[in-house]
Amino acid sequence: MKDILTANFIIETTRTLTNMYNHGWDERNSGNLSLLLTESEISDYCDLNNFIREIPTGFEAPELNNKYFLVTGTGKYFKNTQYNPAENLGLFKIVNDGKIARLLWGLTDGGNFTSEFPAHMMSHSVRLAINPNNRVILHCHPTNLLAMTYIHSLNEREFTRTLWQMCTESIIIFPDGINILPWMLCGTNEIGQATAEKFKTSRLIIWAQHGIYAAGQNLDDSFGLIETAEKAAEIYLKIAHLPRVNNITDENLRELAVKFNVKPRDGYLS
């Protein structure tokens, strides 16, 4: 067996978590990440015929049967993962129609998967049905987006249009816009189901007064989505209280969509 700490998926995940912490999006134990891995990616690094322990998931997801996920642990700090990946991350195989997660590696202090495991797994199911190359679900608490949910309408079209108008790049990076859940109790199957439902039409979901979820084909893709939306929110907060004398118009947004070959969400441009 090769040393799993030298595997690309561990190195990249750890770098992403550190980077997110450094952006101020993951205070204390906040945020969580799950990365779908194939058998061939992990078979050199851990014994797939053995497992350490089994944890009931509390939900069913037959479509995730026999899939492998690297997941952050509950109560673990993003900032600490770089110093001890084996304690802060867990590699799981999903079995029994999604009802059981088998720990193959990690969570060495006896820890459990993230409290938002339902939201992650249910969201993987939905995104995989739309794009078989989806690998990552990422959650964090980005400061400016979170602040915006206190002062901006939570209407998805209006919120999206505001973000599109704040940076030229926004509509190119998230043409599907941003979906929004009202404040809900986190860590439950209910918020998991609601989040997965929202992932049917966008790759970015805001949890009002809490944070954001992103889905992507790899860590850079999902991180980049959040980074772009967060930048737009930062600009909004800098200018929201000032008279606006210039703007990115709907005509400009249409030009961007044509030039960069993206399809803006139906009905979002007037």
The residue range among 27-35, 60-68, 126-134, 142-150 that interacts with ligand 2HA, by the rule CB under 6 A, is 27-35
Q: Measure Cα distances from 6 to 44, 100, 103, 217, 245 in Å.
A: 11, 28, 19, 22, 52
114 touches, from Zn ion, ligand 2HA, none (C-beta below 5 to 8 Å by class): ligand 2HA
Separation CA 81–CA 14 (nearest Å): 6
Residue 123 CB partners (closer than 8 Å, separation 6+): 137, 192, 195, 196, 199, 213, 215
DSSP state of 106: E
3-state secondary structure of 80: helix
Q: Quick check: 186 binds ligand 2HA (CB under 6 A)?
A: yes
Separation CA 34–CA 101 (nearest Å): 13
Cβ at position 91, least distance to ligand 2HA in Å: 18
115 touches, from ligand 2HA, Zn ion, none (C-beta below 5 to 8 Å by class): ligand 2HA
Using Cβ positions, the residue closest to ligand 2HA within the complex turns out to be 30
3-state secondary structure of 168: coil
Which residues, 190 to 229, sit near Zn ion by CB under 5 A? 211
Q: Quick check: 222 binds ligand 2HA (CB under 6 A)?
A: no
Cβ at position 63, least distance to Zn ion in Å: 25
116 is catalytic: yes
Note the maximum CA span of the chain. Answer: 64
Cβ at position 46, least distance to Zn ion in Å: 28
The residue range among 33-41, 59-67, 95-103, 108-116 that interacts with ligand 2HA, by the rule CB under 6 A, is 108-116
Separation CA 74–CA 32 (nearest Å): 8
Using Cβ positions, the residue closest to Zn ion within the complex turns out to be 211
Nearer to ligand 2HA, 34 or 202 (CB): 34
Q: Quick check: 32 binds ligand 2HA (CB under 6 A)?
A: yes
Q: How many CB atoms lie within 10 A of CB 35?
A: 26
Nearer to ligand 2HA, 146 or 166 (CB): 146
Cβ at position 226, least distance to Zn ion in Å: 13
Separation CA 123–CA 61 (nearest Å): 11
The residue range among 35-43, 83-91, 114-122, 259-267 that interacts with ligand 2HA, by the rule CB under 6 A, is 114-122
Q: Quick check: 181 binds ligand 2HA (CB under 6 A)?
A: no
Q: Quick check: 116 binds ligand 2HA (CB under 6 A)?
A: yes
3-state secondary structure of 60: coil
How many Å separate Cα 2 from the centre of its chain? Answer: 29
Q: Measure Cα distances from 74 to 55, 107, 228 in Å.
A: 13, 10, 27
Structure tokens at 58: 């509390």
Structure tokens at 178: 């941003």
Q: Quick check: 108 binds ligand 2HA (CB under 6 A)?
A: no
DSSP state of 46: S
Which of 116, 156, 227, 230 is flagged as catalytic?
Answer: 116
Cβ at position 262, least distance to ligand 2HA in Å: 30
- Cβ atoms of residues 127 and 212 within 8 Å: no
Using CB under 5 A, list all residues that contact Zn ion. Answer: 211
Which sequence positions are flagged as catalytic? 116
Using CB under 6 A, list all residues that contact ligand 2HA. Answer: 29-32, 114-116, 139, 186
